[in-house]
Amino acid sequence: MPSLALQEVAQSAAEMDITLWFDQFHQQGNKQAAIVAAGQFTTCYTLLRYAFRFNKNDPYWANLQQQLVNAWLKFNQAPLWMHEQLSSF
């Protein structure tokens, strides 16, 4: 189940207007980060659901499943963690 913090970021991303650029209003509301993070945690969730269709006794799938679970738990604690990590480059 998504955490409240994750749901709030997803809601912020969903409220974003269709635009070609981010104006001061959007930058102030951190909308760009919310959109990027929403894409990241949605992808993680989708991959997590897919990976658990396979046997957890298979070393390849077990490792991938654990990595995805760890990422999903991290997204639930801090929805912007991956976006912040990538933007530091």
pLDDT, one tens digit per residue, over 34-84 is 888 999 999 999 999 999 999 889 988 999 999 999 999 999 999 999 877
CA angle centred on 72, ends 40 and 22, rounded to 5°: 25
Residue 19 has pLDDT above 60, yes or no: yes
Give the domain extent around 81.
Answer: 4-87
pLDDT of residue 34: 87
State the total domains in the chain: 1
What distance in Å separates the CA atoms of residue 51 and residue 2, rounded to the nearest whole number?
18
Residue with token string 């991938």: 64
What distance in Å separates the CA atoms of residue 62 and residue 85, rounded to the nearest whole number?
25
pLDDT of residue 6: 93
For the entire predicted model, the pTM comes to: 0.78
Burial class (CB in 10 A: 0-12, 13-18, 19+), 28: exposed
